[in-house]
Structure 1
Amino acid sequence: MANHLDLEEQEQLDQLKHFWNAWGTLISSVLLVVFGALAAWNGYQYWQNRQAAQASALADVVESAVAARDAARMEQAFGDLKSRYAGTQQTGQAGLLVGRAMVEAGNLDGAKGVLTWVADNASDAGYKAIARLRLASVLLEQKAYDEALKQLSVSLPPEFDAAVADRKGDIYALQGKKAEAIAEYNKAYKGFDEGLELRRLVEVKLNALGAQPQLVASAAAGGQK
C-alpha cells in the first residue's frame, strides 16, 4: 500500500515538474507583470496624493495672500503652483481666485494672463469654462469685443450654454448689434432655471432692448407641446 502511494506521489510530482517546465517561465513572467503593475499603480497613487497635498499648501498661501491683498505674494505663490503642480485641481482653482482678485484691483492685463492660463491648462473642464467666461468679461471691459467672442466660440460643457449666451448678448449689445444681442439673451433666458437671479437679470436686459422675455417663455412652451 505504501509503495502504491509512493508511486502515485511520484507520478504527481513528475506531472507537476512537467507542467512547470512547460509553463513555469510564462507564469513567472505574468506574475512579474502583475506585481510590477500593482507596484507602479501604488507608486502613482502615492505620488498623486503627495502632489495634491503640496499643491493644497501652496493654494492656501495664495488664498491668504488674496485675503491680505498682498499682490506680490499672491503672484509668487501662484507662479510656484503653475511651475510645480500645473496638473492639479488646486492650481486651476487658485488661478480663478487670483484672476478675480486682479480684476477687483483693476489689473485687467494681469487678470487676462492668469485667466488665459487657466482656460488653456486647468485639469478640470469646469474651471476652464469659468476662466473663459471671466476672460471674455475682461476682454469686454477692454473693448476687445472680437477677442471676447472668440473666447466663447470654443466648445464648453453644456451646463454653461446659458451663461455663454448671456455673455455673448452683453458683447453684441455693446457693439450695437441689437438683433444678435436679443437672440443670445433669449437663449440665456430659456437656458437659466426659473427663479434664478441670473434669469431675472437677463429679463431686465431684454426689456432694455425692447424685447419681452415672457413671449420667449410662451413660445418655448408652445414648441414643446
Structure 2
Amino acid sequence: MAYDLEEQEQIDTLKAWWKQYGNAVTWLLIAGLASFAGWTAWTNNQRSQAAQASAIYDEVQRAAALKEIAKVQGATANLIEKFSGTSYASMAALSAAKSAFDAGDLAGAKKHLQWVVDQGFSKEFQAIAKIRLGSVLLDEKKYEEALKVLAGDFSAEFESEALERRGDVLVAQNKLKEAREAYKVALDKMGEKHAGRQLVQIKLDALGGALDAKSTEHADKK
C-alpha cells in the first residue's frame, strides 16, 4: 500500500516516537492493568469476607435468641478469629457479652466488652462497649475501675449515657454531690426527645436535684 509524502512523514514520526517511548508506555499500561486487577481482586475478597462474616454473625444472633450460650460464644470466637477487622466481629462480641451477662457470667461479659474497647471496628462500638463494661463493673462493685472506664472521651451521641452511668457509680459510692453533677450534665446534653431523659431526671430528683434547681431559681428571683 502506497502512502503520500505527508502520510509517510507521519508514520515515520510515529515510529520514531514509539522507538523512544513505546517501551515505557507498555510498562505503564501493564502496571495500570496490574493495579486494576489487584484492586478488583481486593474488592472481591472484601465482599467475600463480608458475606462470610455476615453468615457467622447470623449464627450468633440465632443462638442468642434461643439462649444457646455455648453456640453464641463459639460462633463469636470463630468470627473474631477469622474476621476481626469487620463490624460483624464487634457486633457479635457485644451480643456475646449480653448473653454472658444475662447468664450471670460477668467474667465472660467483661472479656468480650474489653475486646471491643481495645479492638472494636469503630469509636461508636468502642463507646457502647465502655458504657456496658462500666455497668458490669458497677454490678461487681468495682467502682474505681468503672469510673476509669467511663472517664475517657466519648463522642457526642454517647456522652450523656456515659455521664449517666458515671452518676450511677458515684451513687453506689455514696458520693451524692458528684453524682448529682454527673446527672445534671447528662441531662443538659440530652435532647428533649432523648429516650433516657425521663430516667435521668428521676435519678436526679431522687438525689434532690429538683429541689436544688427550685432553690437556685428562688435565689435568682431575689
TM-score in same-fold range (> 0.5): yes
Structure 1 stretch displaced more, 138-147 or 153-162: 153-162
Shift in CA distance, 201/83, structure 1 to aligned 2, threshold 3 Å: same
Task: Give every structure 1 segment of 4 or more consecutive aligned residues whose post-TM-superposition deviation is greater than 3 Å.
Answer: 213-216
Give the aligned residue type for 1:186: K
Match of 2:115 among 112, 117, 128: 117
Give the aligned residue type for 1:135: L
Question: Once the two structures are aligned, what percentage of the paired residues are identical?
Answer: 37
Q: Name the CA distance, whole Å, in 1 between partners of 2:108 and 2:161.
A: 23
Give the aligned residue type for 1:173: V
Q: Name the CA distance, whole Å, in 2 between partners of 1:138 and 1:147.
A: 10
Give the aligned partner of residue 222 of structure 1.
none
On the 8 A contact 1:186/1:213 being kept in 2, the answer is: no
Question: Could you give the per-residue CA deviations for residues 60-89 of structure 1, whole angstroms, max 9, x where no partner exists?
Answer: 111111122111111111110010011111
Give the aligned partner of residue 104 of structure 1.
102
Structure 1 stretch displaced more, 129-138 or 155-164: 155-164
Give the aligned partner of residue 147 of structure 2.
149
Give the aligned partner of residue 37 of structure 2.
39
Q: Name the CA distance, whole Å, in 1 between partners of 2:27 and 2:155.
A: 44
1:191 and 2:196 are equivalent in the alignment? no
Shift in CA distance, 214/178, structure 1 to aligned 2, threshold 3 Å: closer
Q: What is the root-mean-square deviation of aligned Cα atoms in Å? A: 2.1
Give the aligned residue type for 1:103: F
In structure 1, the residue corresponding to 2:97 is in which secondary structure?
A: helix
Question: Could you give the per-residue CA deviations for residues 144-185 of structure 1, whole angstroms, max 9, x where no partner exists?
Answer: 111111212223322111111111111111111122111111
Give the aligned residue type for 2:65: A
Give the aligned residue type for 2:194: L
Give the aligned residue type for 1:15: T
TM (normalized to structure 1)? 0.89
Give the aligned partner of residue 64 of structure 2.
66
Shift in CA distance, 100/43, structure 1 to aligned 2, threshold 3 Å: same
On the 8 A contact 1:203/1:213 being kept in 2, the answer is: no
Q: Name the CA distance, whole Å, in 1 between partners of 2:30 and 2:185.
A: 58
TM (normalized to structure 2)? 0.90
Match of 2:169 among 160, 168, 171: 171
On the 8 A contact 1:189/1:213 being kept in 2, the answer is: no
Shift in CA distance, 45/213, structure 1 to aligned 2, threshold 3 Å: farther
Q: Name the CA distance, whole Å, in 2 between partners of 1:205 and 1:126.
A: 26
Report the CA distance between 1:213 and its aligned residue.
8.5
Report the CA distance between 1:214 and its aligned residue.
9.2
Give the aligned residue type for 1:43: A
Question: Could you give the per-residue CA deviations for residues 105-164 of structure 1, whole angstroms, max 9, x where no partner exists?
Answer: 111111000111112112132111111110110011111111111212223322111111
Gaps of 5+ in 2: 218-222
Give the aligned partner of residue 220 of structure 2.
none
Q: Name the CA distance, whole Å, in 2 between partners of 1:213 and 1:62.
A: 47
Task: State how many pairs are aligned.
Answer: 216
Question: Could you give the per-residue CA deviations for residues 91-110 of structure 1, whole angstroms, max 9, x where no partner exists?
Answer: 11111111111111111111
In structure 2, the residue corresponding to 1:212 is in which secondary structure?
A: helix
